[in-house]
């Protein structure tokens, strides 16, 4: 094509003002805002100009593209004003998947959040005296009940996440002093939470004792000196040390701390209020166990096994917790009323022992028979509707994830999907790009959809997504 005819094609392109005056685009401007509409129009005309320059478009093609401009502008605007944060179906079998938002909230938590967030509330207002109150009261009273601490006054405060809880606790109780930690507990929790680094930022000095696999109570005892402010125990949330190992019990640490008048702090990682042995998971410590053993302060996450919102909880001796709360950092890492609402509702479910209302606990307790039944139903349905897909029901294992109970798995059932037309990667991508994105797991070149982490109400969506990929 000659340069002259390209120039002619350029002349066909409407000016931005002209485009914006047309009625369809005017309507878009009212719906999506003037600025966004101008931007989308300009981008589309630029695209077209580039295509004329690079490709040999004929006049008919250019005219057709110009006629379709309002429609294209609408599509682009819909894309740019759509939410980026979207719900997805977690078919990975990882219950607390940090990249997928960890614990889903209960219906009661959502209702309470809506009610509290859309109106004014007594978040820091004492309704009986009419004076300023403290936001802690809303959940501290519930933790006191749940941690079953009749013989001890335990208070709880809430911060942004457990990383903040550890940082704040170390800064408030041990700045410029030594904190004794076993070399077997200098953990990294992913996303740059490393105990030595957090310690450095807190202003406390890490005093390592013992070895990677064995630390004795005498190692702690020998390390205690003038500058010692705390003994820290860190839960090995995401790894295990097996073989020739030794670690003092919490009771021994507490006794040593008492002897020297040094508080014992424990970073539990995933705090647990529900005895997971009921779901056949062992090795994950309960918050109440640490409190009962006499640990002075424990920190844990709200959105791991607790099944609530993202939060860091600090529970312990009232005087120490008060000291932590009066630290200026507390104000920097405190949380909004929505978190208190979600947490309060979640804790009330524990008090009522209504465990099935908390999605994480419900998923953990679903039986293999239930999962088998659902999987067979889906496979049967697709066997009829989608002959191009081969679906097998396979036994697999779900994991807790999110830095809890390393090595603990739950027997589960998955749909193993095989397509004659699509590679496993293409299947995975197709599922991710479905209107309700589905995140599956690739294992031995098979696409697995683990049903333990999928709410039964979403089975129909999984069927529809697989049907859409098989045509
Ligand atoms: C998960 C975890 C943390 C970090 O908790 P977040 O709530 O993710 O900030 C800290 N310590 C331990 C031992 C953990 O398992």
The tokens describing 159, both together, are 């911060």
Of 75, 110, 235, 74, the residue nearest 165 (C-alpha): 235
Calculate the CA 197 to chain-centre distance: 22
Q: Which atom of ligand 1 is nearest to the CA of 310?
A: 7
Q: Is 444 left (phi over 0), alpha (psi -120 to 50) or beta?
A: left
* Core vs surface per residue 265-302: b (16+ CB within 10 A) or e: bbbbbbbbbbebeebebeebbbbbebbbbbbbbbbbbb
Mean pLDDT, rounded, for 44-64: 89
* Full-model pTM: 0.90
pLDDT of 71 reads: 95
- The rounded Å distance from CA 406 to ligand 1 centre is 13
Q: Which atom of ligand 1 is nearest to the CA of 303?
A: 7
Mean pLDDT, rounded, for 399-425: 88
**Best of 103, 160, 166, 189 for a ligand 1 pocket test (most atoms within 8 Å of beta carbon):** 189
Cβ(306)–Cβ(346) below 8 Å: yes
Mean pLDDT, rounded, for 207-218: 95
Is 403 or 217 the better-scoring residue by pLDDT?
217
- The C-alpha angle with vertex 56 and arms to 55 and 62, in degrees rounded to 5, equals 95
Residue of the nearest CA to atom 15 in ligand 1?
269
pLDDT confidence bin for 407, thresholds 50/70/90: confident
Sign of CA dihedral 414, 418, 424, 426: negative
Q: Which atom of ligand 1 is nearest to the CA of 301?
A: 7
Q: What is the pLDDT of residues 155-176, one digit of tens each?
A: 999 999 999 999 999 999 999 9
CA atoms of 243 and 258, how far apart (whole Å): 31
- The rounded Å distance from CA 167 to ligand 1 centre is 11
Q: Which residues contact 92 (CB under 8 A, 6 or more apart)?
A: 100, 439, 440, 441, 450, 453
**Best of 101, 161, 163 for a ligand 1 pocket test (most atoms within 8 Å of beta carbon):** 163
Q: Which residues contact 355 (CB under 8 A, 6 or more apart)?
A: 274, 349, 361, 362, 365
CA atoms of 85 and 436, how far apart (whole Å): 12
Q: What is the pLDDT of residues 86-126, one digit of tens each?
A: 999 999 999 999 999 999 999 999 999 999 999 999 999 99
Q: What is the pLDDT of residues 121-160, one digit of tens each?
A: 999 999 999 999 999 999 999 999 999 777 788 999 999 9
Residue with tokens 């969506």: 461
Q: Which atom of ligand 1 is nearest to the CA of 164?
A: 9
pLDDT of 3 reads: 52
Q: Which atom of ligand 1 is nearest to the CA of 236?
A: 13
Q: Which atom of ligand 1 is nearest to the CA of 163?
A: 9
In degrees and rounded to multiples of 5, residue 231 shows phi and psi of: -110, 125
- The rounded Å distance from CA 193 to ligand 1 centre is 8
The tokens describing 281, both together, are 């998971």
Residue of the nearest CA to atom 6 in ligand 1?
162
- The rounded Å distance from CA 399 to ligand 1 centre is 17
Residue of the nearest CA to atom 3 in ligand 1?
269
Of 123, 159, 145, the residue nearest 321 (C-alpha): 159
| 3-state SS class at 274 | coil
- The rounded Å distance from CA 390 to ligand 1 centre is 40
Mean pLDDT, rounded, for 60-73: 93
**pLDDT at residue 306 is higher than 70:** yes
Mean pLDDT, rounded, for 10-25: 92
Sign of CA dihedral 439, 445, 446, 451: negative
- The rounded Å distance from CA 270 to ligand 1 centre is 7
- The rounded Å distance from CA 32 to ligand 1 centre is 41
Say which range, 3-7, 26-30, 358-362, 425-429, has the weakest mean pLDDT: 3-7
- The rounded Å distance from CA 453 to ligand 1 centre is 21
CATH code given to domain 89-95+363-469: 3.90.1150.180
- The rounded Å distance from CA 23 to ligand 1 centre is 55
**Best of 403, 404, 406, 408 for a ligand 1 pocket test (most atoms within 8 Å of beta carbon):** 403
- The rounded Å distance from CA 44 to ligand 1 centre is 46
The tokens describing 392, both together, are 């097998």
| 3-state SS class at 251 | helix
For 40-169, strand residue ranges (E) read: 89-90, 125-126, 131-132, 154-159
Mean predicted lDDT score pLDDT of the chain: 93
Q: Domain map of the chain by residue range?
A: 3-81, 89-95+363-469, 107-357
Cβ(93)–Cβ(399) below 8 Å: yes
The tokens describing 456, both together, are 């039964």
What is the DSSP pairing of strand 297-301 with strand 264-269? Answer: parallel
Cβ(67)–Cβ(116) below 8 Å: no
pLDDT confidence bin for 418, thresholds 50/70/90: very high
Domain 107-357, what architecture?
3-Layer(aba) Sandwich (3.40)
Mean pLDDT, rounded, for 381-400: 94
Residue of the nearest CA to atom 2 in ligand 1?
269
pLDDT of 205 reads: 97
The set of protein residues with a Cβ atom below 6 angstroms from ligand 1 is: 161-163, 166, 187, 189, 193, 234-235, 237, 267, 269-270, 301, 312, 403
363-372 contacts: CB < 8 A, separation 24 or more? 363/95, 363/452, 363/453, 364/95, 364/276, 364/279, 364/281, 364/400, 364/410, 365/278, 365/279, 366/452, 368/411, 368/412, 368/413, 371/412, 371/413, 371/451, 371/452, 372/413
Mean pLDDT, rounded, for 317-329: 97
**Best of 169, 237, 272 for a ligand 1 pocket test (most atoms within 8 Å of beta carbon):** 237
Say which range, 17-26, 111-120, 147-156, 177-186, has the weakest mean pLDDT: 147-156
- The rounded Å distance from CA 376 to ligand 1 centre is 37
Residue of the nearest CA to atom 13 in ligand 1?
269
Q: What is the pLDDT of residues 247-301, one digit of tens each?
A: 999 999 999 999 999 999 999 998 889 888 888 887 778 999 999 999 999 999 9
- The rounded Å distance from CA 341 to ligand 1 centre is 22
């Amino acid at each position: 094509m000659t340069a002259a005819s390209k120039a002619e094609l350029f002349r066909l392109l409407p000016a931005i003002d002209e485009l914006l005056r047309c009625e369809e685009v005017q309507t878009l401007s009212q719906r999506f805002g003037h600025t966004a509409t101008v931007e989308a129009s300009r981008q589309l005309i630029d695209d077209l100009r580039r295509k004329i320059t690079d490709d040999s478009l004929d006049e008919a093609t250019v005219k057709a593209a110009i006629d379709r401009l309002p429609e294209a502008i609408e599509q682009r605007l819909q894309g740019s004003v759509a939410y980026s944060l979207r719900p997805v179906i977690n078919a990975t079998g990882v219950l607390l998947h940090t990249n997928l938002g960890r614990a889903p909230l209960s219906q009661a938590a959502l209702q309470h959040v809506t009610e509290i967030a859309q109106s004014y509330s007594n978040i820091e207002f004492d309704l009986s005296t009419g004076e300023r109150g403290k936001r802690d009261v809303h959940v501290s009273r519930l933790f006191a009940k749940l941690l079953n601490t009749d013989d001890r006054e335990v208070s709880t405060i809430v911060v942004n996440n457990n990383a903040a809880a550890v940082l704040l606790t170390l800064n408030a109780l041990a700045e410029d002093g030594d904190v004794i930690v076993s070399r077997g507990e200098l953990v990294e929790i992913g996303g740059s939470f490393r105990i030595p680094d957090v310690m450095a930022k807190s202003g406390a000095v890490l005093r390592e004792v013992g070895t990677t696999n064995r630390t004795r109570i005498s190692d702690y005892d020998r390390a205690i000196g003038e500058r010692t402010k705390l003994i820290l125990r860190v839960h090995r949330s995401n790894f295990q040390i097996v073989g020739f190992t030794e670690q003092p019990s919490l009771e021994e640490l507490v006794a040593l701390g008492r002897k020297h008048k040094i508080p014992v702090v424990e970073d539990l990682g995933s705090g647990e209020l529900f005895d997971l042995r009921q779901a056949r998971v062992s090795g994950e410590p309960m918050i109440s166990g640490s409190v009962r053993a006499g640990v002075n302060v424990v920190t844990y996450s709200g959105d791991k096994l607790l099944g609530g919102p993202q939060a860091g909880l600090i529970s312990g001796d009232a005087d120490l917790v008060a000291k932590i709360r009066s630290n200026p950092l507390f104000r920097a890492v405190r949380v909004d009323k929505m978190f208190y609402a979600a947490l309060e509702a979640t804790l009330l479910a524990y008090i009522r022992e209504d465990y099935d209302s908390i999605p994480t606990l419900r998923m953990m307790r679903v039986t293999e028979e239930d999962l088998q039944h659902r999987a067979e139903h889906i496979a049967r349905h697709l066997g009829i509707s989608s002959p191009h897909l081969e679906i097998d029901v396979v036994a697999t294992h779900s994991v807790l994830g999110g830095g809890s109970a390393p090595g603990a798995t739950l027997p589960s059932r998955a749909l193993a999907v095989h397509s004659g037309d699509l590679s496993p990667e293409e299947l995975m991508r197709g599922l991710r790009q479905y209107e309700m994105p589905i995140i599956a797991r690739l294992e031995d070149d098979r696409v697995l959809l683990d049903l333990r982490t999928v709410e039964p109400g979403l089975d129909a969506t999984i069927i529809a997504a697989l049907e859409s990929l098989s045509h």
